[in-house]
């Protein structure tokens, strides 16, 4: 959770240089949310790749 919070603060600060507070907060939250959705979608693919790698090593 600390990592996500630090990322949110850093993204907010980066965007804050060129936009308002509310817009910056929305942008940072949207970026983190989309990133987490992509990570969840890819997690099963990565897990399957790990299983296949382990099976190949056993052979």
User: For residue 28, what are its two tokens?
Assistant: 């940072």
Tens digit of each residue's pLDDT (9 = 90 or more) over 7-58: 878 777 877 777 777 887 888 888 889 888 888 888 888 889 999 999 999 8
Cβ pair 10, 27 in contact under 8 A: no
Spatial separation of the C-alpha atoms in residues 27 and 25, rounded to whole Å: 5
pTM of the model: 0.57
Helix (H, G, I), strand (E, B) or coil at 19: coil
Helix (H, G, I), strand (E, B) or coil at 46: helix
Write down the domain spans for the chain: 2-58
């Amino acid at each position: 959770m600390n990592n996500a919070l630090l990322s949110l603060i850093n993204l907010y600060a980066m965007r804050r240089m060129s936009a308002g507070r509310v817009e910056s907060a929305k942008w940072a939250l949207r970026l983190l949310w989309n990133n987490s959705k992509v990570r969840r979608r890819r997690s099963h693919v990565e897990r399957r790749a790990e299983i296949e790698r382990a099976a190949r090593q056993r052979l």
